[in-house]
Amino acid sequence: MNLAHLHIVLNHVPSLGMLLGLVLFIAALYKKSESLKKVSLQVIVIVALLALPTYLSGNAAQWMLQNRTDIPKAFVEAHQNAAMVTLGLMTITGTFAWFGLWQFRRYSRPGGGTTVAVLILSIFTTAAILQTASLGGLINHTEIRPPAVDEVAGWREPVSLFTNSESWVWPASETLHFIGMTLLFGVTLAVNMRMLGMMKSIPFAALHRLLPLGVLGFVINTLTGMVFYIASPEMYFLNVGFELKMVMLIIAGISVLYFTVFDEPWAVGPDKEAPVMAKVVAVCSTGMLLGVMYFGRMLPFLRN
């Protein structure tokens, strides 16, 4: 199985998952069910996490199809353009949904502004992702293609040229990337060390306030990482280090979701020992983030 096959499998997850999350969220608002609202926010966050490998595998598939003469380039470019917009919307929607879960834990319910933002963003994101999926279906399904299509300009090549030709773009993106990693790893390390028995005088509720900074770091790393990916795709395609990095990053993101939602860490007060499950997640997330940094550094040396 190559990345093109993986994309065919993965692309169903954000399409159906985002639609499910939106339906559950609307049902929760209609029934005024806080528990259903929490479930819908969790679905949206998980789908947003899985949107990243879906997009990256799609770019790999596009790279593999670039010399295929039987597939009109316009269909591929239109799908890729829509995917870039969808990924941006998914990232923003997932961030607001996560913030709603953070407010659930901290204040027992998300704020009105957060609820409205998630609803509006979810509607736009669902529409965008269904449109992206529809355009993707035109690539290989000749029976549903329109008889003619206008030539579509792709976004990836102009972004790549701009990033590689302007001397300030790559260093600025690297700086932001390391700032994001510092925020993400710093907050995660503080939480994990508390779960493992250090800083016992500090309750988890105090560290919980720092989680938005960690998520901000994750978003910064996602956006700047996309700049690197688009600017130099040959470094990432078929690179086992990059594939491992993405898997570890998603697992680390799920770990942050655990510390946001579940009761076990929240119940850890001053001088209290964390439960076994919280310690296991702490060890796992620390190892995953160390792996993300290691494989990120080793990318140039692991490419084929």
pLDDT digits (tens, 9 = 90+) for 228-245: 888 877 777 777 888 888
Domain that holds residue 302: 159-304
Mean pLDDT of 20-37: 93
Same domain, yes or no: 165 and 118: no
Same domain, yes or no: 135 and 168: no
Neighbours of 40 (CB within 10 A): 25
Q: Dump pLDDT digits (tens) for 120-155.
A: 999 999 999 888 888 777 666 665 556 555 555 566
Residues 6+ apart with CB under 8 A from 242: 235, 236, 295, 299, 302
**Are the beta carbons of 59 and 229 closer than 8 angstroms?**
yes
Query: Which two tokens mark 195?
Result: 């779960």
**Phi/psi of residue 274, each to 5°?**
-75, 150
Q: Which of 110, 128, 154 is the last residue of a domain?
A: 154
Same domain, yes or no: 25 and 137: yes
The total domain count for the chain is 2
Same domain, yes or no: 192 and 139: no
Mean pLDDT of 95-120: 91
Same domain, yes or no: 146 and 256: no
Q: Dump pLDDT digits (tens) for 287-303.
A: 998 998 898 888 888 77
Mean pLDDT of 92-110: 91
Same domain, yes or no: 179 and 233: yes
Same domain, yes or no: 135 and 253: no
Q: Which of 122, 137, 154 is the last residue of a domain?
A: 154
pLDDT of residue 23 exceeding 90: yes
Q: Which of 103, 125, 154 is the last residue of a domain?
A: 154
CA–CA separation, 170 vs 218, rounded Å? 19
**Are the beta carbons of 168 and 226 closer than 8 angstroms?**
no
Q: CA nearest 78: which of 148, 136, 141? A: 136
Same domain, yes or no: 169 and 186: yes
Residue 38: per-residue pLDDT: 92
Residues 6+ apart with CB under 8 A from 220: 176, 177, 179, 180, 183
The whole-chain average pLDDT of the chain stands at: 84
Same domain, yes or no: 167 and 148: no
Mean pLDDT of 145-172: 74
pLDDT of residue 105 exceeding 60: yes
Same domain, yes or no: 24 and 168: no
Mean pLDDT of 49-65: 74
pLDDT of residue 20 exceeding 60: yes
Residue 134: per-residue pLDDT: 80
**Are the beta carbons of 292 and 194 closer than 8 angstroms?**
no
Same domain, yes or no: 12 and 149: yes
Mean pLDDT of 246-257: 85
Q: Classify residue 142 by its DSSP letter.
A: G
Q: Classify residue 198 by its DSSP letter.
A: S
Same domain, yes or no: 204 and 104: no
Residue 126: per-residue pLDDT: 92
Max CA separation in the chain (angstroms): 70
Residue 98: per-residue pLDDT: 93
Residue 142: per-residue pLDDT: 61
Residue 147: per-residue pLDDT: 59
Residue 83: per-residue pLDDT: 82
